[in-house]
Amino acid sequence: MKRNILLIISLLACCSVFAQGVKFDALSLDQALARAQAEEKLVFVDVTASWCGPCKLMFEEVLSRKDVGEYCNEQFICIQINVDNLEGKDFRKRYEVKSIPTFFILQKDGVVRHRLQGTRNPKEFLAWLERGENETSSLFFLNLLLDQKQKMSLQNTIDYYLILKDIRKLHEADSIRNILFEQTPFEKLTDRECWPLFNEDPYGSKYFEYVVKHGDKFREKQERDRIDDYLVRGYKQEIQRLMYDCQASTEAFDLIKQIVAVLSDPDCTIISKADKIKVVLTWAKEVKAFLESDIPGMIEGMRELVELNEWQDCLWHAMKYVGLNGKDEDKERVGQFTSKMLFEFANTPVEQWDFYQKFRYLGFPISCNGKFWRNALEQVKEKNKPLLVECVRGNDAYFVTRNWAWDLSERVVYLNSLCVCVRIDMDDPEVAFLKERFEITNYPAYFLLDKNGEVKYSWEGMIGEDQVFRDSLRKGLEGL
């Protein structure tokens, strides 16, 4: 009986992880359409499959969010269609699903109102939902205008351009954008209404250069920060691309020199705020040092970027170079800000451990295991949950390449639903007291602590099968 109760609690806890997100009803398509008729709603469909990695990514990072859930649950009847079962195969044929994830907003009669292919970030996904919920910006409405050969307004045409991007008809979308750009008067083109024509274009494109040339006019008619942030992003991405490419070419140095010269001009008004110009110039300094193999310059640039709260994965190229070619004193200098990098730029325990492994491998001092432990204890109090501690030895080459307990996204969700989880490197002198307390004889070792910090269950050794891992955890939870 106790085991059954625990299992029910575990399942409820796991479901609660996504309770704040989209609530999918266990309905067939016909049942969902019938409910939509009765409740005067639209139907939101997530077309997915158990083997689809991008589908899982959208579920975990977008559909589970509170803001997305609140919008969908209020506006739609929400269902999931698995393309591998019988209904899914019929749906795939009926609605011409070529790839997944694909999302639909259906009208009450089953007609497609709006459609999206591929992954999006939460902000982009919400914007898509809003366009589909609003009849006059939906795919159905705009296709109707085209079929009836009715004249489209400027806003209609921009909405249609965005829809073509959503359904991955990128060539057609670009053709429409080019026509709008060539035919729309300057006074209208700088309006907020037309900003979607520009807001994603990279450095060097004619759209980016147009914003550079007319930045003051754009800022006058829109939010100043929006224009500045767009330009900063464009310059940064172009500079960072040089670090990703790792090519110390004449063209690369000329590009950096050109950007620095333009933004360093005291009369420059391309970007209106000095602190944002500083961000771009600091990236230019860092990338130039990297391309010149200037280790002191790289370290100084990284330090300044960390102070500016700037991070991009391309910095691992510079860190790898310093780690493999730098002197001990160079690595000590990097060690002055590795902890800040880990706790400010790695957003999850898995990402933090990934940073930690790389720092150790490259020989940079890093102090974080004590904070891992303290943070976990604070979360236990806040969440009123037990604590699962995974103890490993960070100098074991096996753990340099693998996050054992957290190597499966499904396991992460499961663990977080039941307890607070922390991974500790027992080779760190900062947590030597835990080695004595837990009396570990083999690694990895797992300890389940109650809310008072008392060890209630433990097991040792690697567990490869997910169900065996869950059984071990469940057995420990029974003892709490």
Q: How far apart are CA 262 and CA 235, in angstroms?
A: 11
Span 341-354, average pLDDT: 88
The answer to whether 303 and 337 have CB atoms below 8 angstroms apart is yes
More confident residue, 394 or 82: 82
User: Rounded to whole angstroms, how far apart are CA atoms 310 and 329?
Assistant: 24
Q: What is the pLDDT of residues 74-92, one digit of tens each?
A: 999 999 999 999 999 999 9
* CA-based nearest residue to 63, from 50, 52, 78, 84: 78
CATH top-level class of 2-197: alpha beta
Output the CA–CA distances (angstroms, integers) from residue 286 to 298, 305, 315, 344, in the order listed.
5, 8, 9, 19
Top-confidence range, 173-177, 298-302, 402-406: 298-302
Give the residue extent of every domain in the chain.
2-197, 355-480
Contact 444, 461 (CB under 8 A): yes
Q: pLDDT per residue over 4-37, tens digit each?
A: 333 333 433 334 344 578 999 999 999 999 999 9
Q: For residue 469, what pLDDT band results from cuts at 50, 70 and 90?
A: low
Buried b (16+ CB within 10 A) or exposed e, 242-258: bbeeeeeeeebeebbee
The whole-number pLDDT of residue 4 equals 39
Average pLDDT, the chain: 87
Kindly provide the residue ranges of all beta strands, DSSP E only, lying in 302-433, ordered along the sequence. 387-392, 420-425
d(CA 462, CA 442): 10
Decide: 322 and 293 in contact? Cβ < 8 Å. no
Which amino acid, 251? Answer: E
| Mean pLDDT, range 338-343, rounded to an integer | 95
User: Per the omega criterion (within 30 degrees of 0), is the bond before 101 cis?
Assistant: yes
Secondary structure element (H or E) that encloses residue 456, with its range: strand 455-460
User: Closest Cα partner for 211 from 357, 417, 203?
Assistant: 203
Looking at residue 193, its amino acid is E
Which pLDDT band, with edges at 50, 70 and 90, does 151 fall under?
confident
Q: Which residue has the tokens 């009765």?
A: 38
Mean pLDDT of 432-453: 87
Percent of the chain with pLDDT over 70: 89
* DSSP letter for each residue of 196-242: GGTTTPPTTSHHHHHHHHTHHHHHHHS-HHHHHHHHHHHHHHHHHHH
The one-letter amino acid code at 426 reads: M
Instruction: Please determine, for residue 402, whether its predicted confidence score (pLDDT) is greater than 80.
Output: no
- CATH topology identical between 2-197 and 355-480: yes
- Angle of CA points 159, 187, 222, to nearest 5°: 70
Q: How sure is the predictor about 462, in pLDDT bands with cuts at 50, 70 and 90? A: low
DSSP letter at 479?
A: T
Paired with 392 in beta bridges are 425
CATH class entry, domain 355-480: alpha beta
Query: Cα Rg for the chain, rounded, in angstroms?
Result: 27
Whether the per-residue pLDDT at 276 is higher than 60: the answer is yes
The sign of the torsion formed by the CA atoms of 191, 193, 194, 196 equals positive
